[in-house]
Structure formats: structure tokens, C-alpha cells
Structure 1
Amino acid sequence: MTPASLPTPESSGTSTPTSTTAASSLTAAGIKHQQPATNGHGDSSLSPLDASRMTFTQCTTPREVPEPNSPEVMAQKTCTDHMVTARWTSTSGWEAPELKPYGPFSIMPTASVLHYATECFEGLKLYRGHDGKLRLFRPSRNCERMRRSCARIALPDFDAKELEKMIIALCARDGAKWLPASSAEGSFLYIRPTMISTDPALGVQRPKEALLYVILACFPDMSRSLATPAPPALAGAANGNGHSETKKEIQGLKLLASNEDSIRAWPGGFGYAKLGANYGPSLVAQGEARARGFDQVLWLFGEDCNVTEAGASNFFVVWRNKSTSKLELVTAPLTERIILEGVTRASILDLARERLTKAQGSLESVEVVERKFTMHDLLEAADEGRLVEAFAAGTAFFVAPVELIHFRGREVEVPVQGETGDYAKMLKSWLSNIMYGKEAHEWGVEVEEVEA
């Protein structure tokens, strides 16, 4: 099956856009560009990715499953007994996928991925439902997004449905042991599909060899553990008069707005793709934020301080429109391609448009808006009492309330009712019900387990 054509941006050169107008123009030009149906590697004689050819080798040295919230789980290094791999070459196409024991694989020191960051990945979860069944949540969206990421980094294309079958096969094989029916409510495993270029040629060129693999990892529930120490100003640090001032304990995420000299993504770049190159350079800023007692960086862009993402998550605010006084659920748009098109983000927007455009019990209806907004807009809404709540959304943190934003010497306290805002709580509940099988929905994909 030939995958559909994907839109990908042209190279943006070496300069970073400094104005929103120039950036928008650059992005518009990039979106017009269309790559061939198979990322420039197209040849009908090459073998496509085909999950039906998958071979299986049983793990003979199975490991013990760690206890929930144990040091092993918190370390995020423990994977299940098996993994799936598939190799690709420009001369033969895709080899038969292998479901085999989890373990290391070797690549040459000159491999392209080690020098030029030719890799991309995905992140999704396998859930143990309230009804005892295993489920995935909208896995097709992750697989399609991975195709777009591969296109941006010149890695080979594939049929997204075949990758989804590979993911399901691994989950079916290891799910029963590593996510047993006796698991506590809300249990899950983290799924990490990854593609790297293993091409041993040292020159800067389009990869001629690649490895696609899928692993399952034990992962802590980060939506329930916001354990970062409070910033000094919130923990009772001395004020300007030398007196100690104790403030309330923070329940939600604490965000540090990025400085002018720190940019996560820019139009014409690759912020929309899930590449390692989007994450590694952000670790310095993240480390600085953690050292100052914050959970994540709130990434701003441009002279106007446009709000983009919170760490590696999408960012939402609920506020009352200054002109109409109507409530709005607002998040940054995808038009400039600096925002990752998160699956959780898309699902929140879909559910909000379906269910929150009319009142829900005591909750007022909201208008769902995807548009640019600045840190100054957020400050103004807070000052005028129009800011209702804010939250981050993504695979890791799921839906996590934001309670404080530090922006260039000023701290903005975001209203939170109890542990989370009312709208975030309702959206999180709707999503969780689908993920764990309390609500029958087409987004929940059941996985039939294989007995070991």
C-alpha cells in the first residue's frame, strides 16, 4: 500500500526569523512544498513495511515487574521483555519486522543518528481498563504524526496502519504480564516508537539505512506527582523589607516563562515534528527552571512574547473575553508549525467543541479558540480578574493544572479550585473515561492479549 503524500516545509536556511510577519511568510512558503509519496525514497520495487511478515522470538530471560511507584519505575529505565524492530535500506526497502527479546543493538560509530540527529519518535500509552481490558488511545494519530516527523528529518516512509499493528502486537504480547488485570486503577505502560538512521556513511546526506523500533516502558504517573520544591517566593522567602512572607502551598504546575534569548521553535523549522532535536536543546532551560524551583518552562516566541508550549506539553487557558465577556478555551494555533500537534491537545479540542459549547451542570459554556495570544494578554486577563484557569496537556503530564507563571520578575497566580480547575477536571475526566473503558468510544482501541 502506498502511503498518502505528506506536506513538509522547505529548508529555512540558517537564519532564525525575528519578526512574526517574516516568520508567517516563511512558513506559508514551506507548507506549499510537497515531498514525494515515500519521502523521496519512493520505488515500487522496494518492500513496504508489512506487519504480517513479523517473526517472533520468545524471551528466555524474563525480568521481574517492578512495584508501582518503586525506584525502578521512577527511574524510567525499565522496559518489558520484548520489543519490535524493523530495518530499512534504500536498496531493498523494509525487512520483515521482528518481535524479539528486549535488549541492546549495535550501530557503527559513524551512524548518521549519532552525528546529525536523524531520528524521531512517538509517545503513547497502553491502559489497563476498569473492565480489565487493555486499550490504546487514538494510536492512528501517533502513527500518522510519526510519518510527518520522518518526512521532516529525511527518514523513510511507511504505512501508518502497519506501525499501529506492530505496536498492538507488542502490547498484546507483554501486556498481560507487565500490566496485569490486578493492576491498580489508572495503570499504564508507556509506548515509545522510534526511528533512527543507522547509515554508517559519515557524510551529510539523506540516510540510506534506518531502524524502526517499538518498546514498552514502566513509567510514573506524572499527572499525580508534582513534587518539585516551591520557588523561594512561595516557600516563605524574605521580602524586600527583610520580613518572611508565607504563601499558600502550590498544587499545580509552576512555570518559568522563557527569556528573549531562548527559543524552542520557529516558523520554517521543525517544532511541529517529534524530533529529538526539539528536546535536547531545551534541557538547559529546563534545568535552570528546575534549579529555581519551577516544574517546566513556558515557551514564548517573538518580540510580542507569544505563548506556545509548556515544557513538552501543549498549553491552554480559560479566560473571559475582554470584549464579549464570554468564556473561552484558548490554545496556540498550528498555522506556523511551531506547535506540536499533540494527540491530547486534539482530543481536548474535539471534546470541548462537542460538549462544552453548551453548559455542563454548573459549568458555563465556552467558546473554543485556536489563536495567537501573548504573555501580556495573559497578564492583563489576570489583572482584570478574567483569567479562570490554565493547564498543560500531553502524554506525560496528561492534563495538569497550572497554578503559577513567573514572567520577568513577576509571578502570576492562576486560579485553581481545589486540586485543579473545573474545566481541566471535566476534560481530564472525559478523556480518562475513554482511555480506561468507562465510556465506549471509537478512540479507545482494545488490544487482545496473548497468553505467555
Structure 2
Amino acid sequence: MIPPASRSISRFSQGLFKGKHPRSLDPTILTSILHHSLSTSHRTLSHQAPPPSIDVSRLVVKTTNAPRAKLPASELKFGQTFTDHMLVVKWSKADGWKAPEIKPYGDLRVDPSASVFHYATCLFEGMKAYKSRDGQIRLFRPEMNMARMNESARRLAFPSLDADRVVELIKALVKLEGEWIPTEAGHSLYIRPTIIGSGPGLGVGPPTELTLFVICSPVGPYYRTGFKPISLLASSKYCRAWPGGSGAFKLGANYPTGFLPQMEANQDGYQQILWLFGENDHLTEVGTMNLFVTLEDESGMIEVVTPPLDDKILPGVTRHSVLELLRSHLDGSQRLDGLPDKFLLSERPITMIEMVEKSQSGRLKEVFGTGTAAIVSSVERIGYKGKDMQIPVGPAGLGTFANVIQQEILGRQTGEIPSDWAVVL
């Protein structure tokens, strides 16, 4: 880990040396400049009195006097039922992070002029907790969600979070709500950490007050069709993300612009959008999921492809986990039953031209999306320029790779497969 001061020097020197050879600068001048930079940074930091981290020891817990009724697991719909309590932590530029509080679920008091209402200063994460048959509760890779949350905070010019401390607070909330976690297959407790700009004022700029809150929702399978494969409309009519934009961050503003395209796709008989970008119609994401495609070359070798991470692709926790599983299978460190011994695993661009060619030659073997809510969603049909491509799927509604990945990740989430990805509470 590079110390903060070293990172400052690195960033400063990278900008200084851009387009120049370092030896063209007098070392004495460089040393003087760097010392000035560090002393300036020190003076700036010395005026930042508010503590940078949330103090977990100050947590206040207020339990409800009116517990909510719990629905049967069979009646749960995604994001419609919420648990008894929520976590709230306030921040202000003047005072820093205030004492965290777990309190009964209820309305937030936010000024009508708050920037979240006017400039969409909002970021969030999606996590899950699972309860195994023995009653143990597990969080799936929470450190990755917190790392991504900090990247989103940086993009919105919010203060950074101490990931470990936020995870500890989430653990406390989930433990309190343990009875809300369903144990039925495919069910879990969905956890939604969110930060909003909550201070008063219509000025355009970083908020001077923030509210971090976490709510929980017991959920069943994300899609009503369960594990039945979905259909996609591949379209470049609308753009989900663009170079230099915010598509690689989990910001609230990224989502509502997909509502109209989604409605139009539904009207045309498709369940989700396959987002395309650029003149060559590069594939990016599936709805709100990362994309994987399985192809076959002329020699019969299988290639699993996912678009590379860039400023148009969200770095999904499930995506990362899928790549880790497939790499461990290929290097022999952890073989996965049901997969071929050898295949290619590529993070590379893929276009609709290649998809059409592979489909016409019978070498488009599998398409699926990955994400926290659904884990894996297989695709059976893609509409593109007025024609449909049919994608092979297995009898259970999942292709070969999607089926193995679904079982492997779910097993780790529930504790049936031992893994350090699952954090036991």
C-alpha cells in the first residue's frame, strides 16, 4: 500500500513529467517543488478538523416497539418488503461523521432544497446476506462492495469511507434483523447502503451535508420467471454510458435513463435491453447486469468472453467472482464440475457483427448476465435490427457455464461450499 504522501508525489510527478524526460529537470528544483507540495498538503490537512472515519464505538441502537409483519417467503417481491430497522449516519463538512444510529425503519427528514433532489447526488450499493440451515448468517464479499462505494464517492466528490467500519455497522444491523432473513432456496436479505446529498441549498457543487443510510429487504428470486431464460433487445438507439462519463460507478443517476428503453423493449416483446455502444455496436451490459458470452471457434475451442472494464462498464462483484472461479478452474487450483477442462477466458471487446456471425454458424453457445440481485440470468433470444437470434440453453433454463457458475456462487453465499468470500457474522 502506497502511503498518502507518496501517492501525492506520484500523482504530482506524473503530471509534471507528462511529455518530458525526468532528467531534463534539475534535481534541486524538483526537490524544492515536492517539498512545497507536501508542506501545502500538510497545511490543507491540518485545517480539516472533522474526523475522517466513522466511530463505530459511538453506535446508538434504538429498537422498534412495533415490529412489522413478516410475509411468507413465497409472497416476497424484490424490494417491496423492508425490515424493522435501518442504519443512519450523518456527515457535514464542518463536523465530519457523526454518531451512527440504528433505529426503527422510517422516513428520512431531508430539506426540499437538498442536492439529491435537484442534482442527483446519490450513490448506492447492493449486497446480500444469507442464512444457512444451521442458522449462521453470511455476507458475500462485502469488502468489494465497500471498495466500489468509495470509488462512487470519489466520482461525486464525497468524502471517502473507512470500509471496515462501515462493514461492522452493516453487520450490526443484519444481526439485529436476523429473523428477517429467509432460509428458502434462492432467498436472501438484500442490503442497500446509500449515500445522498442531504444538506439545504441549491448551489451547484459538492454537498456540505450527507446522509449514509442502510435498509434491508428480504427477497426471493429477482425475476418472476425464476431461472427461465430471458430475452434481450439489442439497441443503439439509447446510450447507457459513454467515455468519460459515470457508467463505471454505481450512481443513482445512471438508472432512470434506462426506464424508457426498458419500457420500449417490453412493448416489443423483450424483457431486457442489451446495451450497445459505438459505430460497431459493441456489447456493454445486459439491463443492469454484466455480460458474458460463450463462443466456439472453428477448431471447436470454447471461448468465454466478457467486455473489458472501462468507463462504460460497472465493475460488478459477481462479474469479478465469475472470472476468479473460471481462472481457478483453468489453472487447476479449483476444478469446477461440469465445465470443459480447457477453454479460453477473455476480457475483450465483442461486437454485434461477431455475434451475428457466430449465431449464423451455430457457434454462439451461451449468453448470460451476472449481478448481485439475480446472480446469473441466461439469455435465450436477442433481437437485433428486426431479427431474432436464438441462444441455446439447457433444460433447466441455464446454459452449461451459467448453471455451474450459479451453483458455485450460491454455494459460497450460503456456506454449502466453504469459502473466504462469505463473511460469517
Q: Structure 1 pair 338/41, CA: closer, same or farther in 2 (3 Å)?
A: farther
**Structure 2: which amino acid aligns with 1:431?**
I
1:214 aligned counterpart, secondary structure: strand
Rounded to whole Å, the distance in 2 between the matches of 1:286 and 1:41 is: 46
Deviation at 1:338, TM superposition (A): 0.7
Distance 1:130 1:3, change over 3 A: farther
**1:362-373 correspondence to structure 2 within 5 Å:** 363-364=339-340, 365-373=342-350
For residue 388 of structure 2, give the secondary structure of its aligned residue in structure 1: strand
**8 A contact 2:113–2:201 mirrored in 1:** yes
Read off the aligned partner of 2:138 and give its amino acid letter: R
Aligned to 1:57: 62
1:22 aligned residue: none
Letter of the 2:415 counterpart: G
TM-superposed deviation, 1:77: 2.5
CA spacing shift, 1:41–1:97, aligned 2, 3 Å: farther
- SS state at 1:218 partner: strand
Distance 1:416 1:357 in 2: 27
Residue equivalent to 1:190: 190
**What amino acid is aligned across from residue 96 of structure 1 in structure 2?**
A
- Which of residues 173, 176, 181 in structure 2 aligns to 1:173? 176
User: In structure 1, the residue corresponding to 2:68 is in which secondary structure?
Assistant: coil
Q: Which residue of 2 aligns with 1:144?
A: 147
In structure 1, runs of 5+ residues without a counterpart are 7-36, 228-249, 448-452
Aligned to 1:342: 316
Runs (5+) with no aligned partner, structure 2 = 9-40
SS at match of 2:194: strand
Matching of residue 226 in structure 1 with residue 201 in structure 2: no
Is the alpha carbon distance of 1:201 and 1:257 closer, same or farther for their aligned partners in structure 2, counting shifts above 3 Å?
same
Q: Which residue of 2 aligns with 1:327?
A: 302
The answer (yes or no) to whether the contact 1:285–1:297 under 8 Å persists in 2 is yes
What is the alpha-carbon distance in structure 1 between the residues aligned to residue 398 and residue 171 of structure 2? Answer: 33
Give the Cα–Cα distance (whole angstroms) in 2 for the partners of residues 439 and 156 of structure 1: 37
Corresponding residue for residue 242 of structure 2: 266
The equivalent residue for 2:17 is: none
CA RMSD of aligned residues (A): 2.4
Question: Match of 2:377?
Answer: 400
Distance 2:324 2:400 in 1: 18
What's the TM-score once normalised by structure 2's chain length? 0.85
CA contact (8 A) 1:41 1:156 kept: no
What's 2:422 paired with? 444
Shift in Å, 1:219: 2.4
- For 1:91, the equivalent position in structure 2 comes to 94
Q: 1:425 aligns with which of 397, 403, 411?
A: 403
Q: Give TM-score, length-normalised by structure 1.
A: 0.81
Give distance in 1, aligned partners of 2:213 and 2:93: 18
Q: Supply the AA of the counterpart residue of 1:287.
A: M
Q: Are 1:295 and 2:297 an aligned pair?
A: no
| Letter of the 2:252 counterpart | G
In 2, the alpha carbon distance for the partners of 1:53 and 1:114 equals 30
What is the identity, as a one-letter code, of the residue corresponding to 1:409?
G
Percent sequence identity is 39
Name the CA shift for 1:362/1:272 in 2 (closer, same or farther; >3 Å): closer
Structure 2: distance between partners of 1:214 and 1:286: 27
| Alpha-carbon contact 2:115-2:201 (below 8 Å) kept | yes
- Larger Rg over CA atoms: 2
**Does structure 2 retain, via aligned residues, the 8 Å contact 1:256–1:296?**
yes
Higher helix share: 2
- Other-structure match for 1:280: 256
How far 1:289 sits from its partner (Å)? 1.1
Matches of 1:311 and 1:62, distance apart in 2: 35
Instruction: Please identify runs of 4+ aligned residues in structure 1 that moved more than 6 A.
Output: 2-6
In structure 2, the residue matched to 1:27 is none
Partner deviation per Cα, 1:313-349 (whole Å, 9 max, x = no partner)? 0010111135x64211100001x32100000000000
